[in-house]
Amino acid sequence: MGDFDLDLRAAESELEEEGKGSGEIVLGVLDGQTPPDEWVAAVKEGKTLFLAIEGDLNSLAAGFARDIRDLEGELMHFRDFLVVTPPGVGINTERL
């Protein structure tokens, strides 16, 4: 085999920049008990939220949905849950 020059440190730094999420998924309950700023802060840290909805989704998410969208995150209502992802982390719905 010929010489093969691979700089793993450079490759690793490229991978880190590509995915902006922290890889952490936060399970919680969306019932109005948690201040909206806490949900926004978690998404800013790169965390994905998987929240069980207990009540009216529109009124419960009103305090943070616009902020998440302004950050270029995504929100998706799936069954009785709200999935919220940080920028750079998409929600694939092809199998629904």
- Assign 3-class secondary structure to the chain: CCCCCCCHHHHHHHHHHHCCCCCCEEEEEECCCCCHHHHHHHHHCCCEEEEEECCCHHHHHCCCHHHHHHCCCEEEEECCEEEEECCCCCCCCCCC
pTM listed for this prediction: 0.78
| Partners of 82 in the β-ladder | 51, 77
Segments of the chain scoring below 50 in pLDDT: 18
pLDDT value for 13: 59
pLDDT value for 27: 98
pLDDT value for 10: 65
pLDDT value for 95: 93
Total number of residues shown for the chain: 96
pLDDT value for 51: 98
Tell me the domains of the chain and their CATH numbers: 20-85 (3.30.110.150)
Residue with tokens 């929100």: 75
